[in-house]
């Protein structure tokens, strides 16, 4: 734990794999830039790895003022304890006021280990971050410029705002795909700071024996339009119309957990709290009732069209357009209308 | 070689199945109206521990931190095959965030003494944080292996495990002791065994015995009730039916690390999600209606 340090920087954990920065690291740069400007401090990225120097320009272009680079051949693949050692050592040395991580498989493994070692607070899976003065009702004390850590809780049925008034750094993991990716500015200048961290033998207790990565076959996050089907589609064969609609729009196929659990489509297509969070220009939800978990993963979409035979389906509460009826009749009509549109 | 396993489990409100009865007229969720269940991923953690014991020998101890009624999930763990159950309950632990919770659980694990493997579900469905497992590992000063899909082998105190990291998988090796968080894809939890259920249905915590004695003999003096509770506890203990109950003193916890005091995070605001039934444009399910919708989406450049 460090004391409240109002001059402290805002930090982003620069997650990378195989020499490529994760999207979430760059999304976080955008948000952290805003937060740092709000409190009037510098924004820095922490980049551990092996031969990662080449990634610093990208972080700076996305908003970082500084990049702390820790290179060591033993940091080639992410491992909990050595990476936690890097973050803890640098936090103790530079005393940042905020540290944010992606709520990815790596971030959710790393951040709690760091928080425990620093005895600092940590909020998981934030969907928004902000800065505000917070008055403590009990003591009457107003804490200036605290990080508001906003997240769904209780299965998405409530939204909680969490603060860490006293024990800093203020830390949070942030859900992937929720923050807008900033436009990179290749002309931005920034400082690269090389750091050395002393490891202990026990930091390498876990040995990586074998590692396999699957290429992304479904690009839900990058899709401009998504046609998604739910349990109401009724069968794997029935799901074909969802694929056809997606193809007609040139978009991706999404699904609710119910559709995935019923085996209509594989898990890579799942949208929602336990799947991918998306914010496309158009999201068409067919036969999806709209559980809070599903809505949490798609309600930021610019336009939402819901097709459902139940006029009471909760999905309609987040929809811009609602079509009540049989999706097996409506979707073919929609495909025809899309294909007939005048070409420019 | 036998291995001693500890499984951390939590009783949670069933947030995944919010029924109409649990909704308030304002459209928010009434948490108290949700049934309390065994946190789903913790059942998978228990199953991994039971299968390690079945294959290599050893023991499975289940601990749960929560209110007195969390004894229900401990009984369920006993029905499914756990050897021992410990309830951690103390009002002073209320309002603990994940950091304080992991401290308390780590104290309880240290109090249990020797162990080789600690298993937790990846996350609980009420908070979905996935933080308590890694934080407990750090407090214990042992390595963590998250997102376990399966244990490949355990040889001479070294566990080889496969983890699912979302966009792929890894096989890692680590010398025990180690803390492992388990995914729901790891296994199919065994159902409660009929014979064990019959036996352990009668298992009780001391608090439950107290409530029973009070209900059955409302008029006896406090001293006499105490004697009766002790008599019943002794009988249950001799049959292995006593669920140990520990408070913060029993695990020698530093109170400045527990509860509200030990929690750096504070809840600033809670907003209930309200379902509104308004604000969307209804499109008639006809060729004409759909054509107009698609036209509108093309005009506003939603469909490019």
Give the tens place of pLDDT for each residue, B153-194.
999 999 999 999 988 999 999 999 999 999 999 999 999 999
A186 DSSP 8-state letter:
T
Residues B39 and B183 in one domain: yes
Residues B99 and B231 in one domain: no
Packed helices B98-112 and A107-118: angle between N→C axes, nearest 10 degrees: 80
The answer as to whether A287 is a domain residue is yes
Residues A163 and A256 in one domain: no
Nearest CA in chain A to B158: A206
Q: List CB contacts (< 8 A) between A317 and chain B.
A: 275-277, 279
Q: Are B86 and B243 in contact (CB under 8 A)?
A: yes
The answer as to whether A214 is a domain residue is no
Q: CA B125, CA A233: separation in Å to the nearest integer?
A: 27
Region of residue B282 (phi > 0: left; psi between -120 and 50: alpha; otherwise: beta)? beta
Using a 10 angstrom Cβ sphere, with 0-12 exposed, 13-18 middle and 19 or more buried, the burial of residue B213 is buried
Determine the distance in angstroms separating the CA of B2 from the nearest CA of chain A, rounded to an integer: 21
Number of separate domains in chain B: 2
CATH number of the domain residue A273 falls in: 3.40.50.1220
The answer as to whether B176 is a domain residue is yes
The answer as to whether B281 is a domain residue is no
Q: Which residue range forms the structural domain that includes residue A332?
A: 225-339
Residues B213 and B69 in one domain: no
Residues B71 and B153 in one domain: yes
Q: CA A332, CA A241: separation in Å to the nearest integer?
A: 7
Residues B151 and B220 in one domain: no
> Which of A47, A239, A54, A9 is closest to A147 using CA atoms?
A9
Mode of pairing for the β-strands spanning A66-71 and A191-194:
parallel
How is residue A106 written in tokens? 């790596």
| Percent of chain B at pLDDT exceeding 70 | 94
Size of interface A-B (CB pairs under 8 A): 240
Of the residues A138, A171, A204, which one is the last residue of a structural domain? A204
ipTM: 0.90
Cβ-count burial B51-63 (b if 16+ within 10 Å, e if not): bbbeeeebbbbbb
Residues A137 and A185 in one domain: yes
At residue B98, the pLDDT reads: 97
Residues B153 and B226 in one domain: no
Nearest CA in chain A to B173: A207
Q: List CB contacts (< 8 A) between B293 and chain A.
A: 305, 321, 323, 334, 337
Q: CA A118, CA A135: separation in Å to the nearest integer?
A: 25
At A60, is the secondary structure helix, strand, or coil? helix
Residues B98 and B228 in one domain: no
Q: What is the 3-state secondary structure (H, E, C) of B14-68?
A: CCCCCCHHHECCCCCECHHHCCEEECHHHHHHHHHHHHHHHHHCEEEEEEEECCH
Q: What is the average pLDDT score of chain B?
A: 93
> Which of B89, B71, B124, B86 is closest to B258 using CA atoms?
B89
pLDDT in tens, chain A (344 residues): 688 999 999 999 999 999 999 999 999 999 999 999 999 999 999 999 999 999 999 999 999 999 999 999 999 999 999 999 999 999 999 999 999 999 999 999 999 999 999 999 999 999 899 999 999 888 899 999 999 999 988 776 788 999 999 999 999 999 887 788 899 999 999 999 999 999 999 999 999 999 998 776 678 888 889 999 999 999 999 999 999 999 888 889 999 999 999 999 988 899 998 788 898 999 999 999 999 889 989 988 889 999 999 999 999 989 999 999 999 999 999 999 998 876 54
From B126, B138, B175, residue closest to A154, measured CB to CB:
B126
Query: Do A213 and B167 make contact, defined as CB atoms within 8 angstroms?
Result: yes
Q: Are B279 and B34 in contact (CB under 8 A)?
A: no
Query: Do A155 and B18 make contact, defined as CB atoms within 8 angstroms?
Result: yes
Q: Are A287 and A307 in contact (CB under 8 A)?
A: yes
Query: Do A305 and B304 make contact, defined as CB atoms within 8 angstroms?
Result: no
Determine the distance in angstroms separating the CA of A196 from the nearest CA of chain B, rounded to an integer: 23
Query: What Å distances lie between residue A310 and A257, A274, A315, A326, CA to CA?
Result: 18, 25, 10, 10
How is residue A67 written in tokens? 């990049």
| Percent of chain B at pLDDT exceeding 90 | 82
> Which of A126, A96, A98, A124 is closest to A110 using CA atoms?
A124
Residues A239 and A148 in one domain: no
Q: CA A225, CA A245: separation in Å to the nearest integer?
A: 10
Q: Report angle CA B59, B136, B155 to the nearest 5 degrees.
A: 45
The answer as to whether A67 is a domain residue is yes
Count of residues making up chain A: 344
Residues B61 and B165 in one domain: yes
At residue B19, the pLDDT reads: 67
Of B142-151, B217-226, B244-253, the poorest mean pLDDT is in B217-226
The answer as to whether B19 is a domain residue is yes
Residues A110 and A233 in one domain: no
Indicate whether B23 pLDDT > 80: no
The answer as to whether A220 is a domain residue is no
Beta carbons within 10 angstroms of residue A208's beta carbon = 14
Q: List CB contacts (< 8 A) between A154 and chain B.
A: 13, 15, 29, 31, 126-127
Q: CA B61, CA B52: separation in Å to the nearest integer?
A: 13
User: Which residue has 């496309």 as its token pair?
Assistant: A280
The answer as to whether A213 is a domain residue is no
Q: List CB contacts (< 8 A) between B145 and chain A.
A: 206
Q: Are A303 and A285 in contact (CB under 8 A)?
A: no
The answer as to whether B274 is a domain residue is no
Determine the distance in angstroms separating the CA of B228 from the nearest CA of chain A, rounded to an integer: 41
A55 DSSP 8-state letter:
G
From A81, A125, A162, residue closest to B266, measured CB to CB:
A162
Residues B55 and B176 in one domain: yes
**Tell me: the pLDDT tens digits for B29-39?**
677 788 899 99
Give B259's contacts (C-beta < 8 A, 6+ positions apart): B92, B93, B94, B95, B96, B100
Nearest CA in chain B to A143: B268
At residue A152, the pLDDT reads: 82
Number of separate domains in chain A: 2
Mutant choice from A17, A101, A115, A203 vs B, greatest count of B C-beta within 10 A: A115
The reply to whether the predicted model has a pTM over 0.90 is: no
Residues A120 and A268 in one domain: no
Model confidence at B46, pLDDT cuts 50, 70, 90, reads very high
Query: Do B285 and A212 make contact, defined as CB atoms within 8 angstroms?
Result: no
Query: Do B15 and A109 make contact, defined as CB atoms within 8 angstroms?
Result: no
Query: Do A321 and B293 make contact, defined as CB atoms within 8 angstroms?
Result: yes
> Which of A170, A210, A124 is closest to A10 using CA atoms?
A170
Residues B231 and B250 in one domain: no
The answer as to whether A56 is a domain residue is yes
Residues B144 and B218 in one domain: no
Query: Do A303 and B297 make contact, defined as CB atoms within 8 angstroms?
Result: yes
Q: CA B204, CA B229: separation in Å to the nearest integer?
A: 11
Residues A198 and A230 in one domain: no
Determine the distance in angstroms separating the CA of B211 from the nearest CA of chain A, rounded to an integer: 30
Residues B106 and B221 in one domain: no
At residue B83, the pLDDT reads: 97
From A149, A207, A216, residue closest to B172, measured CB to CB:
A207
Residues A183 and A313 in one domain: no
CATH number of the domain residue B178 falls in: 3.40.50.620
The answer as to whether A211 is a domain residue is no
Residues A28 and A139 in one domain: yes
From B166, B172, B275, residue closest to A206, measured CB to CB:
B172
Indicate whether B237 pLDDT > 60: yes
At residue A344, the pLDDT reads: 44
Determine the distance in angstroms separating the CA of A30 from the nearest CA of chain B, rounded to an integer: 24
At residue B227, the pLDDT reads: 96
The answer as to whether A1 is a domain residue is no
The CA-based dihedral angle spanning residues B183, B187, B188, B194, taken in that order and rounded to the nearest 10 degrees: -100
**Tell me: the pLDDT tens digits for A261-302?**
999 998 889 999 878 889 899 999 999 999 988 998 998 888
Higher pLDDT, B76 or A176: B76
Indicate whether B259 pLDDT > 50: yes
At A57, is the secondary structure helix, strand, or coil? helix
Nearest CA in chain A to B281: A321
At residue B276, the pLDDT reads: 52
User: Which residue has 């992410």 as its token pair?
Assistant: A78
From A111, A162, A209, residue closest to B265, measured CB to CB:
A162
Residues A200 and A229 in one domain: no
At residue B192, the pLDDT reads: 97
Q: CA A49, CA A328: separation in Å to the nearest integer?
A: 51
A314 DSSP 8-state letter:
G
Nearest CA in chain A to B265: A164
Model confidence at B278, pLDDT cuts 50, 70, 90, reads low
Please compute, for residue B54, the number of CA atoms within 13 A of its CA located in the half-sphere on the CB side: 10
The mean pLDDT of B38-48, rounded to a whole number, is 97
At residue B277, the pLDDT reads: 46
Mutant choice from B290, B296, B298, B300 vs A, greatest count of A C-beta within 10 A: B290
Q: CA A300, CA A278: separation in Å to the nearest integer?
A: 7
Q: List CB contacts (< 8 A) between A218 and chain B.
A: none
Q: CA B205, CA B244: separation in Å to the nearest integer?
A: 6
Q: Which residue range forms the structural domain that includes residue B218?
A: 206-236
Q: CA A99, CA A112: separation in Å to the nearest integer?
A: 12
The answer to whether the peptide bond before residue B177 is cis (omega within 30 degrees of 0) is yes
CATH number of the domain residue A105 falls in: 3.40.50.620
Q: CA A158, CA A152: separation in Å to the nearest integer?
A: 6
From A157, A206, A212, residue closest to B143, measured CB to CB:
A206
Determine the distance in angstroms separating the CA of A227 from the nearest CA of chain B, rounded to an integer: 12
The answer as to whether B303 is a domain residue is no
Please compute, for residue A224, the number of CA atoms within 13 A of its CA located in the half-sphere on the CB side: 9
């Amino acid at each position: 734990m460090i004391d409240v340090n109002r001059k402290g920087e805002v930090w982003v954990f620069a997650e990378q794999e195989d020499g490529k920065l994760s999207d979430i690291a760059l999304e976080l740069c955008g948000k952290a830039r805003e937060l740092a400007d709000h409190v009037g401090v510098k924004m820095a990225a922490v980049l551990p790895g092996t031969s990662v120097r080449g990634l610093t320009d990208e972080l700076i272009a996305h908003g970082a003022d500084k990049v702390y680079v820790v290179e060591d051949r033993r940091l080639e693949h992410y491992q909990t304890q050595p990476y936690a050692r890097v973050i803890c050592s640098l936090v103790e040395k530079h005393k940042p006021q905020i540290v944010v991580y992606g709520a990815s498989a790596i971030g959710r493994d790393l951040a709690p280990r760091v928080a425990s070692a620093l005895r600092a607070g940590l909020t998981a899976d934030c969907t928004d971050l902000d800065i505000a003065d917070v008055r403590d009702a009990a003591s009457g004390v107003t804490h200036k410029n605290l990080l508001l850590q906003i997240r769904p809780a209780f299965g998405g049925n409530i939204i909680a705002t969490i603060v860490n008034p006293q024990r800093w750094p203020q830390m949070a993991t942030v859900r992937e795909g929720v923050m807008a990716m900033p436009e990179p500015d290749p002309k931005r200048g920034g400082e690269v700071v090389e750091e050395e961290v002393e490891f202990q033998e026990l930091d390498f207790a876990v040995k990586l024996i074998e590692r396999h990565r699957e290429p992304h076959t479904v690009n839900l996050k990058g899709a401009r339009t998504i046609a998604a089907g739910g349990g109401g589609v009724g069968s794997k064969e029935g799901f074909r119309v969802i694929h056809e609609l997606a193809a007609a729009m040139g978009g991706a196929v999404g699904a609710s957990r119910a559709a995935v659990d019923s085996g209509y489509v594989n898990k890579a297509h799942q949208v929602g709290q336990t799947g991918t969070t998306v914010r496309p220009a158009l999201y068409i939800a067919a036969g999806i009732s709209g559980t809070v978990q599903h809505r949490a993963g798609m309600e930021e979409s610019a336009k939402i069209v819901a097709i459902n035979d139940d006029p009471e389906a909760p999905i309609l509460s987040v929809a811009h357009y609602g079509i009540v009826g049989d999706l097996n009749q409506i979707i073919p009509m929609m495909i025809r209308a899309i294909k007939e549109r005048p070409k420019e | 070689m036998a291995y001693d396993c500890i499984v951390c489990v939590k009783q949670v409100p069933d947030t995944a199945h919010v029924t109409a009865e649990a909704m308030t007229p304002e459209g928010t969720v009434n948490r108290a109206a949700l049934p309390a269940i065994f946190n789903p991923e913790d059942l998978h953690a228990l199953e991994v521990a039971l299968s390690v014991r079945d294959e290599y020998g050893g023991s499975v101890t289940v601990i749960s931190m929560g209110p007195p009624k969390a004894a229900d999930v401990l009984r369920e763990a006993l029905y499914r095959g756990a050897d021992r159950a410990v309830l951690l309950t103390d009002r002073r632990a209320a309002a603990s965030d994940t950091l304080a919770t992991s401290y308390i659980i780590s104290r309880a694990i240290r109090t249990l003494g020797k162990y080789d493997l600690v298993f937790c579900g990846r996350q609980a469905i009420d908070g979905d944080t996935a933080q308590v497992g890694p934080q407990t590992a750090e407090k214990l000063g042992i390595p963590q292996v998250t997102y376990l899909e399966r244990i490949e082998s355990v040889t001479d105190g070294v566990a080889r495990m496969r983890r699912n990291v979302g966009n792929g998988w890894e096989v890692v090796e680590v010398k025990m002791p180690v803390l492992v968080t388990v995914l729901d894809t790891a296994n199919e939890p065994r159902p409660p065994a009929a014979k064990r259920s019959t036996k352990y249905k009668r298992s009780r915590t001391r608090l439950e015995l107290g409530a029973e004695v009070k209900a059955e003999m409302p008029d006896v003096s406090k001293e006499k009730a105490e004697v009766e509770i002790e008599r019943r506890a002794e009988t249950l203990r001799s049959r292995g039916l006593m669920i140990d109950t520990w408070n913060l003193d029993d695990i020698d916890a530093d109170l400045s690390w527990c509860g509200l005091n030990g929690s750096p995070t504070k809840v600033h605001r809670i907003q209930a999600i309200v379902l509104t039934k308004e604000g969307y444009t209804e499109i008639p399910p006809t060729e004409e209606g759909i054509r107009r919708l698609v036209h509108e989406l093309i005009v506003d450049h939603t469909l490019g």
